[in-house]
């Protein structure tokens, strides 16, 4: 046990408790007949790569719904087992969250470490959390995800040395382990309350006395940090990976001669594991009170409509039902990649759906001045109603 007497989930689940990076994996997804799973699989592959996993093969099964026992059907599970043996894979990564029983059964059928999409996302966040608050919030989410799975997977352990979760005395140790993990959850919760209170006080003060704040929000990898760097002349981490940015960062900028604060935030994704939503709220508190939101979309992504839906949903959840959301300026980014007539037509359709919007390239800087003007008028009109309107 790593932390003295406190057992970790690894003590109970072994290496299946986490995605560590370096796994050799087959990806498997189940989708309804007639639908095209290519985009889902591509996103799952970028999540896996972001976590440091080697993706060796992908496997798509069309079924009206996932198999209740093993997620993919029995035959498919055996096919994956054989494929994994041929390729030297040790892990199968599933395109949806599965029940503890499904994970256990699939593990028994294939002999592979089974990881679902929720666990993959949680582990990416854990690998990337940079501040103490983010690390605590993510550890909490991981423990809440793993706690109900201890028994299910513990029973499937084939290594007799692990000896956890078998009947008899093992059951008692499992119970002890659960209690210890619940205590850890309690202590993280109270540590988080303290850290977040400090932050809330600071943020409230900044908002009372400080310049208006603009928050950049959007799907992961849409180009938020690139745009943030353009607008601030800063060097925030830009990466062609999902969730490059985990903590909100804030910088001062000038908008038509007035000060404003610009916040870069963590990216969103569909079907975010629900345990992570409080962690998002910790870093996204600024979104609800912002003077304006810059909603960034990758205008070239075939799944952009889905991204827009997800981002609007998450923003609505953060703002809550009782407050009015901040005004939104949409940014259709990566204009430099729009070259074919089909791409142009899609961008035009998207422009009609996202009023007001500016199509630009954060990478090349094209149309940045249009954005700054649009943003200035949005923020200035909202924050200083008494000021004379400046042309
Ligand atoms: N071609 C092109 N690529 C861009 C543009 N803006 C961003 N990118 C690329 O898109 C990728 C993601 O950019 P980021 O700025 O890290 O995206 P993000 O939205 O901050 O991503 P997360 O922090 O992971 O949510 C990087 O490889 C960028 O270089 C653009 O205008 N044109
Ligand atoms: Mg970023």
Write the DSSP assignment of 149-211 as a string of letters: GHHHHHHH---TTT--SSSTHHHHHHHHHHHHHHHHHHHHHHHHHHHHHHHHHHHHHHHHHS-
CATH number at residue 260: 3.40.50.300
User: How is 115-142 classified by DSSP, letter by letter?
Assistant: EEHHHHHHHHHHHH--SHHHHHHHHHHH
Q: Give the whole-angstrom CA distance, residue 326 versus residue 5.
A: 48
Residue 198, domain member (yes or no): no
Q: How confident is the model at residue 391 (pLDDT cuts 50, 70, 90)?
A: very low
Tell me if 192 sits within 8 A of 214, measured CB to CB. no
Residues 24, 94 within the same domain = yes
Residue 390 covered by a domain? no
pLDDT of residue 328: 95
Q: Which of the pair, 44 or 158, is modelled with greater confidence?
A: 44
In a shared domain, residues 175 and 217: no
152 lines ligand 1 (CB under 6 A): no
Output the residue whose Cα is nearest ligand 1's atom 2: 334
How many structural domains are present in the chain? 2
Q: Are residues 237 and 371 in the same domain?
A: yes
> Contact 276/141 with Cβ under 8 angstroms?
yes
238 pocket-lining for ligand 1 (C-beta < 6 Å): yes
Whether residue 232 sits in one domain with residue 108:
no
Distance CA 291, CA 383 (A): 7
Indicate if 252 and 375 belong to the same structural domain.
yes
> Do the domain assignments include residue 13?
yes
Check residue 239 and give its pLDDT: 72
Is 388 a member of any domain? Answer: no
The answer as to whether 356 is a domain residue is: yes
Residue-level pLDDT at 108: 92
pLDDT at residue 390 tops 80: no
Residues 284 and 167 in one domain: no
Name the residue with the closest Cα to ligand 1, atom 12: 221
pLDDT digits (tens, 9 = 90+) for 178-187: 888 899 999 9
For residue range 177-219, list pLDDT tens digits in order. Answer: 788 889 999 999 999 888 878 877 877 777 777 788 899 999 9
Spatial CA neighbour of 332 closest among 372, 369, 297:
297
In a domain, 205, yes or no: no
Domain end marker among 165, 180, 195: 180
* pLDDT above 60 for 156: no
Query: Tokens standing for 220?
Result: 């992961």
| pLDDT tens per residue across span 14-37 | 777 889 899 999 999 999 998 888
Judge whether 203 lies within some domain: no
For residue 241, give the ligand nearest its CA.
1
The answer to which of 73-87, 93-107, 127-141, 149-163 has the lowest mean pLDDT is 149-163
% of the chain beyond a pLDDT of 90: 50
Q: How far is CA 70 from CA 15, 28, 107, 186, 286, in A?
A: 20, 12, 9, 33, 41
Residues 150 and 215 in one domain: no
- The CATH code of the domain that includes 138 is 3.40.50.11060
* Ligand 1 nearest-atom number relative to CA 221: 21
Say whether both 267 and 372 belong to one domain. Answer: yes
For residues 169 and 237, state if they share a domain.
Answer: no
Last residue of a domain, one of 180, 203, 232: 180
So what's the pLDDT on residue 161?
42
| Ligand nearest to the backbone CA of 217 | 1
- Assess whether 374 and 253 both reside in one domain: yes
Domain that holds residue 99: 9-180
**Binning pLDDT at 50, 70 and 90, where does residue 367 land?**
very high
Residue 83 has pLDDT above 70, yes or no: yes
302-329: per-residue pLDDT in tens? 899 999 999 998 888 888 788 888 999 9
* Domain stop point among 135, 159, 180: 180
Residue 59: per-residue pLDDT: 95
- 67 and 149 co-located in one domain: yes
Residue 265 and residue 144 share a domain = no
157 belongs to a structural domain: yes
């Amino acid at each position: 046990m790593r932390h003295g007497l406190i057992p970790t989930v690894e003590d109970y689940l072994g290496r299946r408790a986490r995605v560590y990076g370096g796994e050799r994996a087959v990806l498997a997804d189940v989708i309804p007949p007639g639908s095209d799973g290519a985009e889902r699989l591509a996103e799952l592959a970028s999540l896996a790569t972001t976590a440091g996993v080697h993706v060796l093969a992908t496997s798509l099964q069309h079924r009206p719904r996932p198999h209740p026992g093993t997620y993919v059907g029995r035959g498919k599970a055996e096919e994956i087992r054989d494929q994994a043996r041929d390729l030297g894979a040790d892990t199968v990564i599933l395109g949806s969250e599965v029940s503890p029983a499904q994970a256990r059964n699939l593990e028994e059928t294939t002999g592979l470490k089974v990881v679902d999409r929720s666990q993959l996302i949680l582990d990416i966040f854990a690998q990337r959390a940079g501040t103490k608050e983010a690390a605590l919030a993510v550890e909490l989410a991981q423990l809440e995800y793993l706690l109900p799975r201890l028994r299910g997977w513990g029973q499937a352990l084939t290594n007799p040395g692990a000896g956890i979760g078998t009947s008899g005395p093992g059951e008692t140790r499992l119970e002890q382990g659960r209690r210890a993990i619940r205590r850890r959850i309690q202590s993280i919760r109270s540590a988080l309350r303290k850290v977040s209170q400090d932050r809330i006080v600071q943020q409230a003060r900044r908002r009372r006395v400080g310049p208006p704040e603009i928050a950049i929000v959007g799907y992961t990898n849409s180009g938020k940090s690139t745009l943030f760097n353009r607008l601030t002349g800063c060097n925030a981490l830009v990466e062609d990976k999902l969730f490059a940015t985990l903590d909100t960062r804030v910088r001062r900028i000038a908008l038509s001669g007035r000060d404003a604060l610009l916040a870069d935030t963590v990216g969103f994704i569909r079907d975010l594991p629900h345990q992570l939503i409080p962690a998002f709220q910790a870093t996204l508190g600024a979104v609800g009170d912002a003077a304006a939101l810059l909603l960034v979309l990758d205008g070239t992504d075939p799944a952009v409509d889905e991204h827009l839906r997800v981002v609007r949903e998450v923003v609505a959840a953060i703002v809550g039902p009782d407050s009015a959301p901040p005004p939104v300026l949409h940014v259709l980014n990566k204009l430099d990649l729009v070259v074919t007539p089909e791409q142009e037509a899609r961008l035009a359709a998207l422009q009609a759906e996202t009023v007001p919007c500016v199509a630009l390239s954060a990478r090349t800087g094209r149309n940045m001045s249009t954005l700054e003007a649009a943003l200035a008028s949005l923020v200035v009109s909202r924050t200083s109603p008494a000021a004379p309107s400046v042309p």
